[in-house]
Structure 1
Amino acid sequence: MVPRAADDTVGLVGLLAQRGDYLESIADGVTEKRALVDAHDASRSTVDRAVRQLADAGLVDRTHGEVALTTTGRLALDAYTTFRNRVTGIDDANDVLDGVDDADDLDVRLFENATVVEAAHTPQKPMDEVADVIRTATEVRVLAPLVLPSHVEIYRDRVNENALAADVVVTQAVLDELVTNHQDTIETFVGSDDAALSFTNDDLPYGLVLASLDDRDVVLVVCGTGPVAGVLRNDTPDAVAWAADRFASARETATRLG
């Protein structure tokens, strides 16, 4: 098979954007042209044109009035759906990402099927989202570039109750504030077999909470190291894998207290 030229590939992406809904219908089992007419509330001529375009691009086969995805069509639809979901997630997160500087390691996987909790109209809502997760988690791995006193108290109390295993990495500035204002929390972490508190000299451009709940793992990215602009929440396996790698990288070079 001759590879597509660059212009042809651009054309294929455009076709997927224009006719991707037809591919989705066919993938879902709507394979007769008459059924496609009904499913898309379109004229027969419009459906014929769409199917012809998809067939010419090698995305579908036509046989006796029915249409089926080719292997190329299935793979192209999967790739386009992933691309569309990620771009949609990035666009939805645009305002909260304004609170993140120099975060070159943020991964596109984080944005696919993510939930965005903005602080613009309800400043406390993102922090409540994080607090609710901390209260219900059995284990957390955390990167903390700022001190949120209400969250510090939740960590301290749940570790004291032996209800939470916590591995927390903070910046030097956060550690200094904990020493000044939250010495009891430091003592709790240092004295617990199920908790660890470490500090790093590296900058943390965003906060990260990777939490294990009863039925799943969830990732929270806190955008903003001053005023919090919002929180991204995602529990997809790809997002969890990224968060685990990101935490492990920071933890490896951090210094543990105690």
Structure 2
Amino acid sequence: MTDALTVVRRRRRILEYLCEGAAPKRDIVATTESSRSTVNRAVSELSSLGLVERVDGGFRTTTPGRLSLDVVTETSETIRTIRESSDVLSNVPLESHVSHRFLVGAHVVTGDSAAPYSGVDDAFDRLRRADRVRGFGIADNDPRWTRILHERATDGSMTVSVAVTRRMAEYVLDRYDDKVEEYLAADDYRIRVCESLPFEMFLFDIEGRTVAHLLVVDETGSFVGQVENDRPDAVAWAEARFAERFEAGVPISELLG
């Protein structure tokens, strides 16, 4: 397996070219700007692993070859995302077990200390347009967020299911005590309380499409960045994490005694 992985990484350009269709060695040499000897070695290595095959017209990538190429490409892109966003991701606790699947094809935005809320503009836009919102809340970083969530949930224009930490729940009940009755009366506004939550995350459903946002805060609760992804694998992971924690929580009404 290690040898195959090394070969695919090293011969990636040739595999990509041969995915487009069969080609003789002379065309591989010209297109990839490789020497004849390099192409001979590459074709020999890839053929021995069943990743390319001889056909009329030269050589082409096999289905195992294409699948192997997809894995290597995806892994390379994910590692690049991790490296480029390490300042943001370093604030996500190790024990939260964020999946690398959530980072495949993700868009990462870093917060600006001079404009601390500028990084969540996309999330705010989706909050305003969403039909349904699910997520974790661990900090009240921006009053606009709580206000929009409350207004849309209580007027019936959006279904909301949110899990918050006990500390956050107590803060909300105190800070927004004049809204508590509206919280409890809204049919489509469910708030559950958990002892702890791994991170701040929201799923926005807009016209049949779901987008997941992982909002990253530092140990003081200040926003440092977000990871946004709408790929099916990423959304499925986020939905599973939300369902697991939300169902484990208790209704916020139980805190009212």
| TM bucket, shorter chain | 0.7 to 0.9
Shift of 1:22: 1.6
What's the % identity of the aligned pairs? 30
Shift of 1:250: 0.5
Query: Are 1:150 and 2:107 an aligned pair?
Result: no
Amino acid in the other structure paired with 2:156: N
Deviations 1:82-136 (A, max 9, x none): 3223322322331111111234431111000000011156532223232112111
Q: Secondary structure at the match of 1:58?
A: coil
User: Is the Cα–Cα contact under 8 Å of residues 117 and 223 in structure 2 kept in the other structure?
Assistant: no
Provide the C-alpha distance between the structure 2 equivalents of 1:117 and 1:218, rounded to a whole number of angstroms: 15
Shift of 1:57: 2.9
Query: Are 1:239 and 2:231 an aligned pair?
Result: no
> Number of residue pairs matched?
249
User: Is the Cα–Cα contact under 8 Å of residues 152 and 185 in structure 1 kept in the other structure?
Assistant: no
Provide the C-alpha distance between the structure 2 equivalents of 1:34 and 1:155, rounded to a whole number of angstroms: 62
Structure 1 alignment gaps of length 5 or more: 1-8
Amino acid in the other structure paired with 1:124: Y
1:168 aligned to 162, 165, 174, which one?
A: 162
Structure 2 alignment gaps of length 5 or more: none
1:90 aligned to 55, 66, 82, which one?
A: 82
Provide the C-alpha distance between the structure 2 equivalents of 1:185 and 1:41, rounded to a whole number of angstroms: 67
Match of 2:16 in 1: 24
User: Mapping of 1:85-164 within 5 angstroms?
Assistant: 85-120=77-112, 123-148=116-141, 149-164=143-158
Q: TM-score, normalised by structure 2?
A: 0.88
Q: Secondary structure at the match of 2:98?
A: coil
Cα RMSD (Å) of the superposition? Answer: 2.1
1:46 aligned to 14, 38, 61, which one?
A: 38
Deviations 1:211-236 (A, max 9, x none): 10114101000112512221000001
Shift of 1:65: 4.8
Provide the C-alpha distance between the structure 1 equivalents of 2:119 and 2:38, rounded to a whole number of angstroms: 46
Provide the C-alpha distance between the structure 2 equivalents of 1:98 and 1:120, rounded to a whole number of angstroms: 16
Provide the C-alpha distance between the structure 2 equivalents of 1:39 and 1:183, rounded to a whole number of angstroms: 68
2:183 aligned to 186, 189, 194, which one?
A: 189
Amino acid in the other structure paired with 1:62: R
Q: TM-score, normalised by structure 1?
A: 0.87
Amino acid in the other structure paired with 2:166: Q
Deviates more, 1:21-30 or 1:137-146: 21-30
Instruction: Go from structure 1 to structure 2 and tell me whether the alpha carbon gap of 1:167 and 1:184 turns closer, same or farther (over 3 Å shift).
Output: farther
Deviates more, 1:29-38 or 1:86-95: 29-38
Instruction: Go from structure 1 to structure 2 and tell me whether the alpha carbon gap of 1:52 and 1:257 turns closer, same or farther (over 3 Å shift).
Output: same
